[in-house]
């Protein structure tokens, strides 16, 4: 039996979830011939992935909260022109930032899937780099950010800290 590192398994989760989704689409198409595959793909097109531009979250905590969001049946509503932290653990947060002039409502499971992609930034070995930060942009004017968070603050109080003068925070640097 081959040994997999925790990071290797983390990287495989999106692939496994994709296969589960494809299987569900095939089943729905066979059960209902009028079903269009695009109806099952509630996953909007992805834009750019920016890595290491925010204060970092903890890789382990991001894994936990990403899983919780992926399993959620809730809606994640983000007000117009705001960033909103939808999940937080210790010093790690998952945000949706909305650049639109209207609120955006997403399935929290979609936010979890996208945070898994953003959480794939900074892939250095877990023992050398515990920090991660990433941003995955949609083509619809919103984006998902994995970054440092102060869970004691209200979910809409802080935007993720970024910029060249930004410190990595308590979770260490993003190393790729």
Residue 160 pairs in a beta bridge with: none
64's tokens:
């936990």
- Domain regions of the chain by residue span: 1-41, 44-176
Give me the pLDDT at residue 11, please: 46
The pLDDT tens digits of the residues spanning 127-161 come to: 566 889 999 999 999 999 999 999 999 998 878 87
Q: How confident is the model at residue 46 (pLDDT cuts 50, 70, 90)?
A: confident
Rounded distance between C-alpha atoms, residue 142 and residue 138, angstroms: 6
Kindly report the backbone phi and psi dihedral angles of residue 37, in degrees, each rounded to the nearest multiple of 5, phi listed first: -55, -35
pLDDT over 80 at 104, yes or no = yes
Give CA angle at 64 (73, 138), nearest 5°: 60
- Biggest CA pair distance of the chain: 56
Among 80, 75, 118, residue whose Cα is nearest residue 98:
80
DSSP string, 108-147: HHHHHHHHHHHTTSS-S-TTT--EE-EEEEETTSEEEEEE
pTM of the full predicted structure?
0.72
Those residues whose C-beta lies under 8 Å from the C-beta of residue 117, and which sit 6 or more positions away, are 14, 46, 49, 134, 136, 144
Of 157 and 35, which is predicted with more confidence?
157
Rounded Cα distance, 93 and 39, in Å = 30
Residue with tokens 């299987």: 23
* Cα(38)–Cα(71) distance, integer angstroms: 22
């Amino acid at each position: 039996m081959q040994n997999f590192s925790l990071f290797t398994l983390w990287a495989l989760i999106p692939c496994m979830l994709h296969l589960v989704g494809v299987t569900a689409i095939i089943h729905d198409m066979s059960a209902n011939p009028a079903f269009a595959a695009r109806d099952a793909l509630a996953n909007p097109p992805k834009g750019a992935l920016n890595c290491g531009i925010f204060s970092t979250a903890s890789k382990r905590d991001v894994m936990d909260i990403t899983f919780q969001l992926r399993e959620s049946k809730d809606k994640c509503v983000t007000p117009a022109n705001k960033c909103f932290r939808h999940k937080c653990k210790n010093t790690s947060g998952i945000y949706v930032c909305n650049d639109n002039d209207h609120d955006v409502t997403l399935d929290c499971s979609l936010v979890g899937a996208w945070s898994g992609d953003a959480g794939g930034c900074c892939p250095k070995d877990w023992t050398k780099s515990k920090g991660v930060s990433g941003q995955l942009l949609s083509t619809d004017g919103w984006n998902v950010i994995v970054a440092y968070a102060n869970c004691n603050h209200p979910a809409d109080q802080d935007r993720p800290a970024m910029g060249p003068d930004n410190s990595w925070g308590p979770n260490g640097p993003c190393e790729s």
